[in-house]
Structure 1
């Protein structure tokens, strides 16, 4: 089953704002059932969605700066699952980081994380918060080092691999960024946005290589395959069609450095370009009237790309 992996814990800004508008109903619903075991067995009925909604509201509230609602969510989760629950400790740490006034306050939080891990080294949320905090205090290199240790111990953690990929990308280490994101797809092969992100990284890797070299052609071809897979999984995925058109256009204009370097057939590339162009036009037309501020920029960029290709 195809799915989109949200690689950002706070989600998109527009979604965060929309969710915080539902805060009263989410908090009220959770408040009516928030109690710990064993009393939760005989209390008001609850569902997994109840607490998932509270967690998502917590993230959204931090993103929008609503500390009061975030605090209410944390109180509810603590009451339901206990102060020592690993998930709750991680959320509490995130809340404290958000409220920290300066680096000294963050260093105090880091020391608290070290104390927690000294007594409970398997507290995964705290380990992740510690790495995130190190990125802020010590820079990306320390965070990369810690994430490498983490992924060696927990090789199936897609969130860690995703973060590692973005850190490598921020340092210009594209091959390592690509490898890390490929690890994500080993565990969630149908995440269309991850395929698209891999396509973007492959495309950039192709641009970084010498024009017309075997490495450039290989990376651009891989980018086309990744973008194609993303739109195969999600037929109206603008980001996938946008990337596909970029990569195809670049490959069509590429002149191999030697006869030994084979390009995909030009006729097939041209058909892919026509497909991407027509789909982009359709998506722009369909979404133009209802686009929120966060997606308008994407539509404008897509329109500019279509305009560059001519009528």
Structure 2
């Protein structure tokens, strides 16, 4: 089935007055099922087409209007979001889901304290409502109150320990605060939850590399190595492996045998990087590799 997929296609359809409401409905349904936002496209599809046919949607109308409310708030199109929110509130006056949308509207209006009151009220009624707890974190983060956001998210993760998105967000918040040891702990939790995902290893290694010191450089080298093993195409991991090997080999605490092994690994990483850039027709890989080689602090004399 053909789906509208870009703003350009929407504009072309509207220009030729060939925007079929059933096609739009199917596209919005697909985006809901795929859990993707496409906020600008959703707003345009609703405003220029589907709102005129909402009476034909049946019960799906309410899911579409919820989708439009969120998209409208994303794009600061309150003129689109608010009529849908009014319609939803009339249909489901006591719904916690609608109250959450009201809280998001207050966020869009920068009435953050009122939004937090709405979210607190929802949580008092339903302590297991994870999405509303996440909204509270988003409000605090949006205000630049990172310490409060960390506290709120930490409490959330005590109740929802398997939420990988929560751990990733907490890691990023700790990085904003410069607390690398706690950020590393968050990545350790993520690696335990999914030991085959190469990007978790890469990020953990980058944090350890940033912390510095021989022990952390050696840990970074090991985790960059594992990331490259899980995904040989992970250039970021290969870059990290090369740099961490350089730091380990240049340390005065590094033994002769360890330095020899590390230099061999460093050379292998550079070879892999060179080979991958040599396959890129649109990129002058030789200049990139030469620049990258100059970053090494290893004595090659």
Q: Distance in 2 between matches of 1:77 and 1:302?
A: 55
Partner Cα separation in structure 2 for residue 96 and residue 23 of structure 1: 29
What is the CA distance between 1:33 and its match in structure 2? 9.0
Kindly indicate whether the alpha-carbon contact (under 8 Å) linking 2:168 and 2:187 is maintained by their aligned counterparts in 1: yes
Matching of residue 306 in structure 1 with residue 289 in structure 2: no
Structure 1 residue 187 displacement after superposition? 0.9
Confirm or deny that 1:123 pairs with 2:129.
Answer: yes
**Corresponding residue of 2:25:** 31
Residue pair 2:245, 2:262 contacting (<8 A) in 1 also: yes
Closer, same or farther: CA 67–237 of 1 in aligned 2, 3 Å:
same
2:208 to 202, 211, 215: 202
Separation (CA, whole Å) in 2 of partners of 1:188 and 1:77: 37
- With normalisation by structure 1, the TM-score equals 0.65
Distance 1:305 1:138 in 2: 35
- Aligned with 2:63 (options 61, 72, 79): 79
8 A contact 2:198–2:227 mirrored in 1: yes
- For the pair 1:51 / 2:52, whether they are aligned, the reply is no
Looking at structure 2, the residues matched to 140 and 275 of structure 1 have their Cα atoms a distance apart, in angstroms, of 41
Residues 278 and 115 of structure 1, relative CA distance in 2, 3 Å threshold: same
Is structure 2 residue 232 aligned with structure 1 residue 235?
yes
2:179 to 154, 173, 182: 173
Calculate the TM-score normalised by the size of structure 2. 0.67
The match for 2:223 is: 226
- Contact 1:89/1:126 (CA < 8 Å) preserved in 2? no
The runs of 5 or more residues in structure 1 that have no matched partner are 1-18, 35-45, 207-215
What's 1:268 paired with?
261
Q: Indicate if the aligned counterparts of 1:181 and 1:198 stay in contact, CA closer than 8 A.
A: yes
User: Which of 249, 254, 257 is 1:252 aligned to?
Assistant: 249
Distance 1:300 1:163, change over 3 A: farther
Match of 2:117, SS? helix
1:140-159 superposed matches below 5 A: 140-159=146-165
Q: How many residues align?
A: 248
Measured in 1, the distance between the counterparts of 2:290 and 2:113 equals: 46
Deviation at 1:185, TM superposition (A): 1.1
Give 1:81 deviation, angstroms: 11
- Superposed CA RMSD in Å reads 4.0
Counterparts of 1:225 and 1:128 in 2: how far apart (Å)? 34
Q: CA deviation at 1:250?
A: 0.9
Contact kept, 8 Å, 2:225 with 2:237, in 1: the verdict is: yes
Larger Rg: 2
- CA deviation string 1:10-58 (max 9, x = no partner): xxxxxxxxx6459859x96572498xxxxxxxxxxx8xx66333x21x1
1:70 & 1:249 partners in 2: Cα distance?
53
RCO higher in structure (CA 8 A, sep ≥6): 1
Contact 2:140 2:148 in 1 (8 A): yes
Match of residue 184 from structure 1: 190
C-alpha spacing 1:304/1:67, structure 2 compared with 1 (3 Å): farther
Q: Distance in 1 between matches of 2:98 and 2:239?
A: 39
Deviation digits for residues 192-242 of structure 1 (CA, Å, limit 9, x no counterpart): 111100000010112xxxxxxxxx221111101111111111111111111
Deviations 1:117-149 (A, max 9, x none): 222221111111111211223611111111111
How far apart, CA to CA, are the structure 2 residues paired with 1:187 and 1:22?
40
